[in-house]
Structure 1
C-alpha cells in the first residue's frame, strides 16, 4: 500500500517516522518545508499536496492540529477520491465533523477511518502508542497492517466517530489526572514529605496512573515539557464538554478544568506546555515542586514490536 501522510508535527512526525522506519512506501507533506526535508532524508518521498497525494496513494493519513485544518485538507483531496481510496484521520477531532467528512468521502466511493492515537509522543516515536479505529470491518482489515507499524495496541471500535468520541474522553481523564497530581504533589511538599518518596508511593498505589508515570517525572525534574500544549488540551476538553452538553449530562468537574486551563494559558501563554500547570500552585505557595533523579524528557524503553488488534469485550 502506498501511503500519504499529511501533518508532520509532534505526533504526525513520529507516526510517519514509524512507517518510514518499517519500510513502508510513504509520501509526506506539511506546511513547514523543514519537517518535510527531515522525513525525505529518512526515506520518504515529498508529496505536492492533498490532491496529488490522494491521486497517487492508496491511503492518505492526516494528523493535524484542529478540525478546521482537517476539513480543509479533506476538501482538497475530495476530487481525487474514488473506489479503493482511503482517508485515515489520526488527529483528535470532533466526532460530528469526521462523520460529515467521511460521508463526503463515501459519496465518491472512498472509505474513511476515524483513527486517533493515545499514549504520549514518546510512544508514538517508537511505534508503541495505542490506536483506536472507527470504520467498517473490511476497511479495518485492509488498513490494520499499516496501523500495526505505528501502534502496539489497535482497537476496532465500530462506526466512524466512535474513535474520536473515545479519544476526547481519554484526554479529559488525562487532564483531570494531571491537575489532581499537581495538587497532590504540592500538598505533600507543603506537608514536609519528600517528593521522590511521594512519586514512588503513588506509583505503587491505587492512585497510580499513566499520567503519573510520565508527566509527574517531568514536573519533578523541572523540565515541564511533555510535548503537549495547553491549546491542544483546551481543544480536547472542550470537545468533551460539548459531548456532555449535547447529551444533556450536567458535568461539574469539566467546567472547572476548562477554567483552570484558561487561567494557565493567561499566565504562561496559549501554547504553553500543559504540565506547567504545576507552576500555578508553586506561585500560590512559594514552594518548588522538584526532586532529584527524574528525567528531562520521556523515553519509551519498551522494545519496538509489531502491533496487534486488541479483542474487545462483548
Structure 2
C-alpha cells in the first residue's frame, strides 16, 4: 500500500498529497490545472499526464474533486480509474458528493474487483494544510482498516461510519451544522453591532460559554474584520446544501432549519459572494437588516 495515485490537486488535495509524500508514500498525481501537479513535484511526488497514468501502478487511488460530475468522469469514464486500475486496487474518494453517487461507484467498482471507500473530509484548507482533517468513512470495515494508515497521515478524527455512502451522509450532516452556525454567528454580530455593543468583546464571551464552537475559535476575528478570503468557498457550500436537501428527501425527513440556511447560502452566491469564504454569510445577514 505504498504507491498512491492522487487525482485532484486543488486547495485541499494539494496539501493532502504533500503530507503523504512527507510520510514516505510514493505519490503520483494528476490535475487538470498544472499548478497543482507542480506543487506535488516540488514536494517530492511524481507527475502524471493523465488519470490513467496516475492510477496504472497504484495500490491506492485517492480522488479529491469538486462535485459528482467530476468524480463520475474521473472514475467511470473511458480513460478513468476503473478502466485502468489493477484488480484489488483501493479507491478512496475524499470528495464531497451525493451519497447515491458513492453507492453507484462502489457497485461499478465491484464488477472490476476494485475496492472503494467514500471518505469525505471536514476542516477546510487550514485542516488540510495542518493534517488535522476530520474524515468520515463509508465502505467495508476491512478496506477501512487497510486505508487507516493513510487517513492517520491526513487527519486527527477518523471514523468508520457505515457502509458505502454513509460517509457522504455524515458529511452532509456536518455541512448543515457548519452553515447553520455561520448563520447564527453572523446574526449575533449583526445584533451586537446594531445594539452598540462591542462585537469583539461579545463574541469573546460567547466563545467561553455554552455557545463556544470551532467556528467562533477560528473565524470570529476574520468575520469581525469582514475578511472573507476563501478557506471553503460559498460556491461549494451551496453545492453541499443541495446534497443535504436531496438526502433529506430521500430519507423522507423534514429539515426546515437546513432549508432556511440553504436559502441564505444561495443568497450569498446570488449576491456575488460565491468565491468568498462561507463566513461571508455575514454579508447576507447584514444586507437583510440594511446594514
TM-score (norm 2): 0.94
Question: Aligned residue for 1:252?
Answer: 256
Question: Aligned residue for 1:79?
Answer: 83
Question: Aligned residue for 2:35?
Answer: 34
Question: Aligned residue for 1:307?
Answer: none
Task: Determine the C-alpha separation between the residues in 2 that align with 1:197 and 1:137.
Answer: 47
Comparing 132-141 with 165-174, greater Cα deviation is found at 132-141
Instruction: Supply the RMSD in Å over aligned alpha carbons.
Output: 1.5
CA 1:246–1:196 in 2, change beyond 3 Å: closer, same or farther?
same
CA 1:94–1:285 in 2, change beyond 3 Å: closer, same or farther?
closer
Comparing 26-35 with 192-201, greater Cα deviation is found at 192-201
Q: Deviations over 1:77-97 (max 9, x none)?
A: 112234320110000111101
Question: Aligned residue for 2:277?
Answer: 273
Q: Which residue, 149, 153, 165 being the options, matches 2:153? A: 149
Question: Aligned residue for 2:183?
Answer: 179
Q: Does 1:159 align with 2:166?
A: no
Task: Determine the C-alpha separation between the residues in 2 that align with 1:271 and 1:194.
Answer: 29
Equivalent residue pairs, number:
287
Task: Determine the C-alpha separation between the residues in 2 that align with 1:7 and 1:41.
Answer: 16
Task: Determine the C-alpha separation between the residues in 1 that align with 2:37 and 2:86.
Answer: 27
Give matches, 1:1-314, under 5 Å. 1-75=2-76, 76-285=80-289, 287=291
Task: Determine the C-alpha separation between the residues in 2 that align with 1:242 and 1:142.
Answer: 31
Native 8 Å contact 2:273 2:280 kept in 1: no
CA 1:100–1:242 in 2, change beyond 3 Å: closer, same or farther?
same
Task: Determine the C-alpha separation between the residues in 2 that align with 1:126 and 1:234.
Answer: 25
CA 1:286–1:253 in 2, change beyond 3 Å: closer, same or farther?
closer
Task: Determine the C-alpha separation between the residues in 2 that align with 1:215 and 1:254.
Answer: 21
Task: Determine the C-alpha separation between the residues in 2 that align with 1:161 and 1:285.
Answer: 40
Native 8 Å contact 1:18 1:126 kept in 2: no
Q: Deviations over 1:281-300 (max 9, x none)?
A: 4345565xxxxxxxxxxxxx
CA 1:186–1:269 in 2, change beyond 3 Å: closer, same or farther?
closer
Task: Determine the C-alpha separation between the residues in 2 that align with 1:10 and 1:86.
Answer: 23
Question: Aligned residue for 1:295?
Answer: none
Q: Deviations over 1:86-113 (max 9, x none)?
A: 1100001111011101111111111001
**Structure 2 residue matching 1:154: 3-state secondary structure:** strand
**Structure 2 residue matching 1:222: 3-state secondary structure:** coil
**Structure 2 residue matching 1:149: 3-state secondary structure:** helix
**Structure 1 residue matching 2:55: 3-state secondary structure:** helix
Q: Deviations over 1:134-153 (max 9, x none)?
A: 12122112111111111112
**Structure 2 residue matching 1:60: 3-state secondary structure:** strand
Task: Determine the C-alpha separation between the residues in 2 that align with 1:14 and 1:20.
Answer: 10
Native 8 Å contact 1:81 1:105 kept in 2: no
Native 8 Å contact 2:58 2:85 kept in 1: no
**Structure 2 residue matching 1:109: 3-state secondary structure:** coil
Q: Deviations over 1:15-65 (max 9, x none)?
A: 112112222110111111122111101101002222222221111100000
